[in-house]
Structures are given as C-alpha cells and as structure tokens.
Amino acid sequence: MDPYPIRRTTSARIPTPDGTFQLTHYVDGHDGKEHLALSMGNVREQNSVLVRVHSECFTGDVLGSQRCDCGEQLHQAMQRIAQLGSGVIIYLRQEGRGIGLGEKLRAYNLQDQGYDTVEANLMLGHQADERNYAAAAAILSDLQIRSIRLMTNNPAKIDHLMALGIQIDERVPLQVTVTPDNALYLATKVERMHHLLTLPEMTYFPPTPGLLPALNARLAALQQRAVQHHATTGRPFVTLSYAQALDGTIGGLDKTPLAISGPESLRFTHMLRSAHDAILVGIGTVLADDPRLTVRLVDGPSPQPVIVDSRGRTPLTARLWQHAKPPWIASALGQDQTGPIDALAAAGASILPTPLHNGQLDLAHLLDQLGARGVRSLMVEGGATIISTLLSRRLVDYAVITVSPRFLGGTTVTNGASGLARAMPTLTNTAYTPSGDDLLVWGDVTYTSQPANGHLPAAQVECLIL
C-alpha cells in the first residue's frame, strides 16, 4: 500500500500562555486540506509521546462555545504537554466530526429543536462520525514517533489509529466540565458513541423533538435543587405537575379522564417524570385514569410509583402493576382494612403506614417516609384532592403546569376547596415555554399566608379516605 500523501511545508515558533511550541504545517495530498502539528520538546524517535489528535472545532476552539467540550480538551492538552515539557497536538481540519462548519451549524439548529448530535447528523444525510485519522497517522510517521500516550475519551479514535499502525501505550483521559449547554451533547457521546467519560449523576435528559433545549437545563437545575433540599430537610423536593384547560379544568365532572395535553406536552411530561425519583397520585386518579406512571415517550428511567390509597382499593388489574417497580401504597394506620391491604402487599406492593390527621392521611408524614427511603424528588400528578391538600399544607416546592388553550367545563383543582384562596400560594420566578399549542408555566411555589392550623378544614375539602 502506498503511504498516505501528506507533505510537510514549513514550521515556526509559537509562544503561548502555556509555553513555546513549534507549529508545523502539512498539506494533505488526498484532499488538499491543511493540517497542523503543535509540538514541544524532543519527540522524534521517542516512545510513549504524549499526543492529542484533535479535530478542528471553530466554535469551540476559537469562540469558546459551551455547546461542546472541544475547546476545553484542546487547552487541557496544551497545558499537559507544557507541564511535561514534550508532546504533540495534531490538529486535523475536519470540522463537525467531518461534515464541515456549514453543516455543523445546520445540525446545531436541529439540536435546538430537541434532536441529539447523532440524530441531527443523520437527518442531514451524514454519518454520526465521518472523521478519518489517516492524515494523523501520516504526521506521526513524519515526526518519527515510535509510540504514543493518546489523550482521548473516544475509543473509536484509538481503534482507528491502531488499525493504521500507530502503537498506543496508554489512553490518557480528558475530563471536561459539564454545563447546561453541553450536558445533552456529552451524554449523547457516552450513550450513543461510547465515549469514556464520567458524567455527574442526573445530568442527562433525553431529547424531545419540538421542545427547546432549555428544558434540559431547567430540569437539571430542578434535580440539583432536589438533592440539596433532601440533604437539608430529609424530605423530597415536591414538584406539582398537571395539565389544565383555560378554565382550570383538569378532569371530567363525572371523574372521567380528559385528554388535555397535546403530544409535545405529553412528551415533556415523560421527560419530567424521568427527572424525578418517584411519582405520586391519589386512588381517585388510579380508578378514573388507570395510569401506567411510566416513562414511555422518551428514553429515561421510570420513577417509583406512590399511591395514596387509604382503603386498599387499588385494583390488582390496574396498569401500574405492569411498572418495573412495584407500587408503594400509603395506607391509613388504625383502619380495619387489613384484608385489602394484605392483598396489595401480597401482589408486591410496599405498604407505607400513614397516620391520620383530622380524618385525612397526613401527607407531611408520608413525605418524611419517602425521604427516609431515599426519595429526593417527588412529582405529583393528581388528582384534585391531593393537589389542593398539598398546596394548602405548604408541602409543594415547585410547579410545572401545562395550560391548554381550550374551555372544557370540568373538575378544577379547587373543586371542593372553596374558601381557601387565602391559604393558596402563588408562583414566583415564573417562566413560560411554548409546547405545541400548549403553554408550560414554571415557577417556585411561594406561600403568602398561613391557614389557621396549617391543615385544611375538614368541611372544605374532600376527604382523602376515598
């Protein structure tokens, strides 16, 4: 086989903040591209030379874009070589994993619609990675380097260079900073391209076409708050999430389910579920909607289902039993319902004995139990009684509400809780995100007044023992 056609033209001394390097210019005889070798110290005829094979990234290397980790890896490589006193960075002109700058910007636009970096490349008619390392191998040969220690997180790069005859003595990892702007990109590298990166727990949220990438950053921030909240209070961070029409309708007057959210919002709801450790609904929701409480519309883990069911009425035929995690069922202490509760336990449910307060399940006590079980974040989806009770007892920390542009004339959150307006909170730090025809309303739940005894008057709210 003929050697790869690479031609060294000239070189010059380049002083940098990290030290003085020698920059050598090469011309690729195969496609005419110009490649570079940035070297320090004596590397010729040496073994285990510290090397970074870096593909050009104008946005990251020059502009410092935080959408990727390229610029940070380049500067880390320069710093490590300078600290060691010798090494080489081979700078290959193959922008955007080989698709070029223009196509990379088009891929960025697709990523802003929710597609990951691999999906965006494929949608534009490219491969996930079109890079070729033959020029790098030819430059290493020209520099007469015998073997290398390769700075990379990409196992495919190792395989390609070894197939080209490069002896790699060691892989040197480059750990990069995770930001809201690159978290999805880095997670895609790990999940779909098998890069050897250690990412912080709970930073990845799968893409949902049509939703803004800012959703991922906002969900990441909620997860971080949940961890801090649990460490401080011992209770889970409670996120209230439900869909309503313009008139406040969340369900039918006859307790029949209503399809309120559009498809984009439903996908987002599944994203939100995957960002929480557990999900809670009341027995009324189980009986009316027969929810699965799983994550299906996006990739991601399903939260632990928690059912508020004082009398053990959860049907053994309910779809939630198909969940990979058997449900946790909050049951009233001191009630003569051992038969139904025992049947649920026999079916695999974990029973959470919960005391009564003024005839209702003590949801504050339930949150304490969940926190003790390691639940850091709890998503509450309904129904109306659960929602209004948690709000009036100041147990909700955050709300993400989907508003559909329709009037439906059904059950509202405050049905059966009239007269409690002074006990209800407001949303602060509010944000609004369009989602198809719907609108997502985000905000901290802020309590401005205190009910007389901290609990709902029994005559003003439907009892939780349903």
Amino acid 119: pLDDT = 82
Active site members: 129, 131
Domain with CATH 3.40.50.10990 in the chain: 6-94+131-193
Ramachandran area for residue 96 (φ above 0: left; ψ -120 to 50: alpha; else beta): left
Of the candidates 382, 393, 2, the one whose C-alpha atom is nearest the C-alpha of residue 235 is 393
Amino acid 74: pLDDT = 96
Q: How would CATH label the architecture of 214-460?
A: 3-Layer(aba) Sandwich (3.40)
Other CB atoms closer than 10 Å to residue 436's CB: what's the count? 17
Amino acid 257: pLDDT = 58
Amino acid 384: pLDDT = 83
Q: Is the dihedral of CA 114, 117, 122, 124 positive or negative?
A: positive
Amino acid 414: pLDDT = 67
pLDDT tens readout for residues 274-316: 999 999 999 988 988 888 899 887 778 899 999 999 888 999 9
Domain with CATH 3.40.430.10 in the chain: 214-460
| Side-chain-facing half-sphere of 20: CA atoms under 13 Å | 3
Q: What is the mean pLDDT, run by run of 10 residues, along the chain of 466 residues?
A: 87 95 95 96 95 96 92 95 96 95 91 78 88 95 96 94 95 85 81 80 43 70 89 95 86 65 81 93 87 84 92 89 91 68 90 84 94 95 86 92 86 57 76 85 82 38 31
pLDDT tens readout for residues 226-285: 999 999 999 999 999 988 888 888 876 665 556 787 777 888 888 899 999 999 999 988
User: What are the DSSP calls for 199-232, one per residue?
Assistant: PPTT------TTS-THHHHHHHHHHHHHHHHHHH
Amino acid 399: pLDDT = 94
Amino acid 121: pLDDT = 87
Sheet containing 49-55: which strands, arranged edge to edge?
A: 6-16, 19-28, 34-40, 87-92, 49-55, 148-151, 168-172
Which class in CATH covers the domain with range 6-94+131-193?
alpha beta
- The token pair that represents 358 in the structure block: 């003024």
Amino acid 210: pLDDT = 45
Asked, as a colleague might, if the bond just before 383 is cis with ω within 30 of 0, I would say yes
Amino acid 336: pLDDT = 55
- The token pair that represents 393 in the structure block: 């007892």
